[in-house]
Structure 1
């Protein structure tokens, strides 16, 4: 089946990544390098890149609110601003993806247990196959477990998660994440 892919970069904002009010996210430099590589690859392959910003991070115009400068959107790349952890709730993200015929999302960004998890789950219920870049999302330590464990836990829980027909596959950035492998799994069940 022929798929149309987009890269969705969620909440990769300076205030989250750098931790302006608290600690930076786990392995922030590696995260930024991975997302930068994904964005560069997508642009070179004419794959749409879309960004999401969380309105709760900081006031608009504050440097902490901005998408991290090392992975900032190009002028033509849309940015969706959200109030909820779900990138689709209260935004026109789904409508925009439908307009351009997207049926496969590659997801990266912050924070693993909140907005990344929510976006992956909601995307499948909206009909998108999802590739979560396993080394392309991050978070902070919690009072219950360290960030590294939160990331590993979510990679494990989300891999293979399906709602109806679409599902999530977790792959590393070393793989060609823009070439979906969902249909391979469907034909080899």
Structure 2
């Protein structure tokens, strides 16, 4: 089995914007540890960057659009790609790139739990990947309807029931 780490939308404007993600420092620390572990095991890293329309805060090239420098991603060795929909597979080359790398296990981390994490987990399962959602390495912000902690808990329960296997960052062994 060949694994890959998929990091979704860990961007300056989403992570460090006016609305703070839930438990952001712990989530970032967990993702950084997974990146280090993936590199040590020569596991490919894919990082999606949500691209908004021209003039939006996350328009291509804008400061808020950039991936977090703390992730220390390297475009020379990591696959960094842009997406414009919540599903990281929609209108991207991600599925083909994963297939070319013989990846069948996909570990998913990042933002936001109820949008891009949810959509990508469901799509990955539909595409036949063994999808692993790292339960303590994705986050979102509070909404008018629910606090972020409840959103994350709900998505872990829902996605873990039918679309992904839940693992903690401590359990991940690439």
Q: Classify the TM-score, shorter chain.
A: over 0.9
Gaps of 5+ in 1: 163-167, 179-189
Deviations along 1:69-93, whole A, 9 cap, x unmatched? 1113212211110111110000000
Distance 1:16 1:40 in 2: 23
**What's 1:66 paired with?**
66
Structure with greater Cα Rg:
1
Q: CA deviation at 1:27?
A: 1.2
Residues 1:153 and 2:149 are matched in the alignment: no
Gaps of 5+ in 2: none
SS at match of 1:108: strand
**What's 2:79 paired with?**
78
SS at match of 1:58: coil
TM score, norm. by length of structure 2: 0.93
TM score, norm. by length of structure 1: 0.86
**Aligned partners of 1:171 and 1:177 also within 8 Å:** no
**Aligned partners of 1:133 and 1:172 also within 8 Å:** yes
**What's 1:165 paired with?**
none
Deviations along 1:51-77, whole A, 9 cap, x unmatched? 000002512222211110111321221
**Aligned partners of 1:106 and 1:177 also within 8 Å:** no
Distance 1:6 1:176 in 2: 11
Task: List 4+ stretches of structure 1 deviating above 4 A.
Answer: none
SS at match of 2:162: coil
RCO higher in 1 or 2 (8 Å CA, sep ≥ 6)? Answer: 2
Count, aligned residues: 169
